[in-house]
Structure 1
Amino acid sequence: MAGPQLEAGFTRIANELLEAAYRFKFSASQLSIILMIWRFTYGFSRKEHEMSVSFIAQHTGLHTSQIKKELSFLIDAQVILVIKESTRTSSRVIGINKKYEQWVVQERGVMTVEHGDLFGGGSGFDTTLGGSNPDTTGGSEIDTTGGSEIAPYIKKDLKESIKEIIYKRFEQFWSYYPKKVGKKDALRHFTRLHKEKGFSFDDFVTGTKNYVAYCQKINRILKDGSSFVNQETYKEFLDMSVHGTGAEIGPAPMAPSNTKAARNKSLLQQKLEEAQRIGSDADHSASRRGFDGLPVNAGTDERTD
């Protein structure tokens, strides 16, 4: 039997774009989705196509929950473009963004920075991810807001680099923060913080770690990730003298349970203590009256009639 032949069909794709796909750090599932989208877009000489989650699952063999997760990432990272949102009668129309320089994904061999886990409690933090702290507000380090001194194409590259740095920082925060709720909104709020004058990612790391440790210490329920970033809660925990020093923060105590079994156990414990108290009083009384129930003269062995 002959192997695959071009005559049976082929997908026409620029080598530059194909090379970008294997140069960026995609997971196996993400790469499967990308290749599948190319197959049903470029493979049919079109740039986008209507694709449902079940359609992608059918052709990749991935579970629908995994597909939803990876699609969300690829869309946020600007790898997949949503041309038209889904409706009640049609699926979402999507395509691959061929401008791979806009992909917010780590590229092998480019901007590779050796640094510890920002939230892992190491000896120090690399809060710049391999460069000066990005100034997105028009400061002196990197100005992307205007001015004729910088050529437009350079300003665009700077903006893309800053965006990638922000996304990488966010991913580090999100992988650390325990209550991962509202990722999309959290990223939006996180990006907004970087545009605020005076924002320090170093402070954000410190405040986040202190907040998580403090909540564990006093058994407080953590805020959703989105709410934590939006409300800028980290600022309240930069000075731990208000809440207790970092050195005082240790493992969280056992949480008091409010279950029915716990309440019954507490009630039983109270009854047991009460019975022990009554028993103790009875023993004391018996010691005064003797084992036969007759009173005993204190300090003598004589019984009264």
Structure 2
Amino acid sequence: MSSQLDAPFTRITNEILEEIAKRKFNGTQYGIIISILRNTYGFQRKSHGMSLSFIAEATDTKKTQVKRELDKLIEMKVIKVYAEGTYTTSREIGFNKNFREWQIEDSTLNRVHPKKSTVPESEYGEYPNSSTGGVPELGYQERKSFKENLKEITTGENNDFEKVNKEYGRIHQCMGLKPSDWPTVTALLSKGVQADLIINVMEEKHAKKVEDGGKVHSFSFYTNAIKEKHKGIGAKNSRMSIFDELERELG
């Protein structure tokens, strides 16, 4: 798996990453921030229309939990609202890179309760493939590990990862992989699984799932099939190498 500096990546300054890492955001807040960065800076834009359902899908978190923590982030001026949503369009939001404007009290960060919700009730609309489950907020060790790996996750310099991410978005008609799926994809690629193999499995199994009237909710649906196909190709290549050696020996 090669890493190329000219591959697609999310352009974020080290200063901003360091500021994010210093703040005591909870797990849900981190997920929301990364999702917004990925869908704005990752596409060379400062803001984008994103509904609660979209962010909930991207972070694998319940919409009620996303609403609560997004309210806090907006009140603390970490996330900016560029345009309010309508009945046909999602509210346009973005990350406030001017961290000096952030109104954060680290000791009370997780106890902020906005008097009035900043998220309109219309944002509770359904979203294709929306997750019905949530994830618990990260504990201290998980949050510490997340901070330590934040820069590596968000720069996204690996070409194979970006290729899989882009194709996942095309196949599922979404913005790309959920942040919770990034470690699984990265692990598969690091073990030598080809990006094209992953994409082929996704296309085949997704088509079959849709044909049967079902929906794919996360990348984990494909993991076992990818491992089996990779194992099969490895075994086939091993047998071919033996036959090649015999052929060479027999002249």
More helix by share: 2
Tell me the TM-score range normalised by the shorter chain.
0.3 to 0.5
Structure number with higher relative contact order (C-alpha < 8 Å, ≥ 6 residues apart)? 2
- TM-score, normalised to structure 2's length? 0.42
Q: Which has the larger radius of gyration?
A: 1
